[in-house]
Chain A
Amino acid sequence: MQNITRIYALSKRNVILRYKNSLVGFFWGFFKPLLYLLIFIVIFKQNSGIPHYVLFVTSGLILWFFFSNVTGQSVGSIVGSSGLLKSLNIPAYFFPLSETIGELFNLLLTLFVFLIIMNWFGIVYSIGMLLIFPCIFLFALFALGLNLFLCSINVFFRDVGIIWNTVQPALFFLTPIAYAESSIDPKYKMLIQCNPIYYFLKLGRCILYDPVLPAWHLWSSCIIISVSMYIVGQFIFNKLKNQFISAI
């Protein structure tokens, strides 16, 4: 119970810090995906041949920006909390965890707004849409695993944060967000299939965009990817956590 209070306090701090001194605070979170959406409509919509293109892109963008925000913020979470870590006996994993939880709330809120607005862009509401919750849970578990890995390495090599910011756009275009999977040259299909985010995106899009239930093998690959990422991240984090204090 006490831990829940602590994680809540940390998440609250993250939210306050993120939008401190900014004019419309929370709404900037909507602004970025909107901008991307407009760009994609201008560039890709004509040639894509995808029905309900706005719905197609937005469902991908929501999931991508959750991932991009949560990893971008968590990379520096341990380094940025040096004062607290040095003065209180709280487990270090609370920091990436609270970042992930804070962003998760953001995602749920965005999703709610999305579901209402997409009414005008051809969304088909169904009971199967509730499957988005386990999908988000798996994606968040994957992100948490990656966050644990990134933030612990970043303590010792500060360029991890910079590298991650550089790699992100490449990952973005390797994930079929703005274009259909089928438009990729079969030669390079492997490249996309190596990208773990692709599977989560496909799962989420099955639920939100296609009115079909996702296949079981898609579920199982998502479960395998997220659980193994979490185990790897937690393992590396545990190996390094005793030395955090000396390096921050």
Chain B
Amino acid sequence: MDKDIIIKVENVHVSFWQNNVGVYSLKDLFAQRKSPFKTKTILNNINTEVRRGESLGIVGRNGSGKSTLLRTIAGIIKPDKGNVVVNGTFAPILAIGAGLEVELTGYENISMLLALYGTKRKNTNAVENIREFSELGDEVLRMPVKQYSSGMVARLAFSISLANDSDILIIDEVLAVGDQGFQAKCMEKIYSIKNQGKTILFVSHFPDQVAKICNNAILLENGEMIHSGNSIEICNKYKQLF
């Protein structure tokens, strides 16, 4: 395989088991006597590759399979068919705070996620960097995350995913919730990460952002990749969908 290619997705096919109508418990299973699950195809025949240092945008309607594709690439979901080959490490996908434990405080979340992600214990700067970047005060980080506003959660989540020194950064609509100042700061950070030669996978509903950040993009529709290519073209196609 070409050394330059950091992510290669070949013929990937992902399907989920879906509960049949009304079968949510054993009671229904015995009462209705039908198979409780049917398979639903989420992604069908996805092919794409990303070179080191390039960025890939993923656009599409709600429910078209964008997050599933990200999770498949990150190895969280195993594809039924096809291959995903990745030559690098990932930052955690903290899509609008999923993965944060709401009962724990900000600091506890930071240390748990850093440990789970495998950041070295010696890297004590990590916590400091997260606090600095998120602009959340000491007092806020001592509060349980359940008391945060959605913008604060997004700040914390995005800052934690940036703290890992990983090759591939996955950004799943995190920028939608932050205030203007934080959005601008994030965009700046994303550019600087890009300039360091790291790879970015970017999901967003703002085609202009995608066009600015990414070299290439793919457009998903009902789990199929209907277009791929230059990000500006794809974003125009995305706009035409509506």
Which residues from chain A sit less than 8 Å from chain B, CB to CB? Answer: 2, 5-6, 8-10, 12-13, 16-17, 20, 82-90, 156-160, 163, 242-243, 245-247
Q: Closest CB-CB distance, A206 to chain B, in whole Å?
A: 38
Partner of A83, one of B16, B36, B101, B108: B101
A90 to B90 CA separation, bound complex (whole angstroms): 12
Q: Closest CB-CB distance, B71 to chain A, in whole Å?
A: 7
A–B complex contacts, Cβ < 8 Å, 9 sampled: A9-B115, A10-B116, A85-B76, A86-B71, A87-B94, A156-B36, A156-B37, A242-B78, A246-B18
A247 to B24 CA separation, bound complex (whole angstroms): 11
Q: Closest CB-CB distance, A85 to chain B, in whole Å?
A: 7
A245 to B118 CA separation, bound complex (whole angstroms): 22
Contact stretch, chosen from B25-33, B134-142, B188-196, B206-214 = B25-33
Task: Mark B101-122 against chain A: 1 for CB-CB distance below 8 A, else 0.
Answer: 1011000100111011110010
Please name all residues of chain B whose beta carbon is closer than 8 Å to the beta carbon of A9 when the two chains form the complex.
Answer: 111-112, 115-116
Once the chains bind, are B92 and A87 in contact (CB under 8 Å)?
Answer: yes
Closest to B77 in A: A245
Please name all residues of chain B whose beta carbon is closer than 8 Å to the beta carbon of A245 when the two chains form the complex.
Answer: 16, 71, 76-77
A86 to B68 CA separation, bound complex (whole angstroms): 10
Closest to A21 in B: B103
Once the chains bind, are A90 and B116 in contact (CB under 8 Å)?
Answer: yes
Once the chains bind, are B75 and A89 in contact (CB under 8 Å)?
Answer: yes
- Chain B residues touching A, range: 35 or more
Once the chains bind, are B118 and A5 in contact (CB under 8 Å)?
Answer: yes
Once the chains bind, are A13 and B71 in contact (CB under 8 Å)?
Answer: no
Please name all residues of chain A whose beta carbon is closer than 8 Å to the beta carbon of B242 when the two chains form the complex.
Answer: none
A2 to B119 CA separation, bound complex (whole angstroms): 9
Closest to A246 in B: B16
The B17-67 residues at the A interface (CB cut-off 8 A) are 17-19, 24-27, 29, 36-37
Q: Closest CB-CB distance, B81 to chain A, in whole Å?
A: 13
Please name all residues of chain B whose beta carbon is closer than 8 Å to the beta carbon of A2 when the two chains form the complex.
Answer: 118
Please name all residues of chain B whose beta carbon is closer than 8 Å to the beta carbon of A12 when the two chains form the complex.
Answer: 112
Q: Closest CB-CB distance, A98 to chain B, in whole Å?
A: 11
Closest to A85 in B: B76
A242 to B77 CA separation, bound complex (whole angstroms): 7
